[in-house]
Chain A
Amino acid sequence: MSIVKLIGIAVLGVIIVQLLRSSKPEFATLATIATGVVMLIVLVNSLSSVIVAFQGIIDKSGLPNSLFTLVLKIIGIGYLTEYSASICEDAGCASLGSKIQLGGKLVIFGLSIGIITNLIDVVSKISIG
């Protein structure tokens, strides 16, 4: 995961956005989105090897696999929500960004209900056993 590549893309993106902002402001927002996409794809690809390693650890630890995929899903949702919320703030409509964050929180809360029930099952098994 070379941070230098990431910084290079970000700096290039900032230059392009400034270039476009003076002549055509609407292109600037599109350029920020494009830079964000390129950077995220570089990040996500480097993240996939870490996730495979985690998969191995989880299998060894004997935890139910559904738990790990649930945690992964929540990380993914947080990832995308933060990305789109910051784009909205860049484009000048911070209210839309906060709406997206609210939506992300609700979706994550909905998903985490599964983890909570799982936790309660495990705890009740231990206490009875």
Chain B
Amino acid sequence: MNISILIKIAGIGLLTAIVAIILKKSDKDEIATFATLAGLIIVIFLIVDMLGGLFDTVKSIFAL
């Protein structure tokens, strides 16, 4: 649980943005939306995994 995850998310975000722009330029708009959606889903999986880790840590420490 360190900073590498943050940089990974930033990388995925930027990559999706670039891919979407390229696809939009070559007028394949629907594929661009799919690419953005795919990037979003990957990042959401990462975040849900992190949140799960956080809630487990808090539960174990605060005896919730």
Contacts and interface: CB of A to CB of B under 8 A. Distances in A.
Nearest to A35: B6
Contact size range, B:
20 to 34
Contacts, number: 97
Interface string A8-25: 010011001001100110
SS class, residues of chain B in contact with chain A: helix
A16 B64 contact: no
10 contacts: A12-B3, A12-B6, A16-B6, A20-B10, A30-B44, A38-B1, A38-B3, A40-B58, A41-B1, A41-B57
Nearest to B16: A24
A12 B57 CA distance: 23
B50 A37 contact: yes
Interface residues of A, number: 32
A25 B58 CA distance: 29
B58 A31 contact: no
B53 to A, nearest CB: 7
Interface of A: 9, 12-13, 16, 19-20, 23-24, 26-27, 30-31, 33-35, 37-38, 40-41, 44-45, 47-48, 51, 69, 72-73, 75-77, 79-80
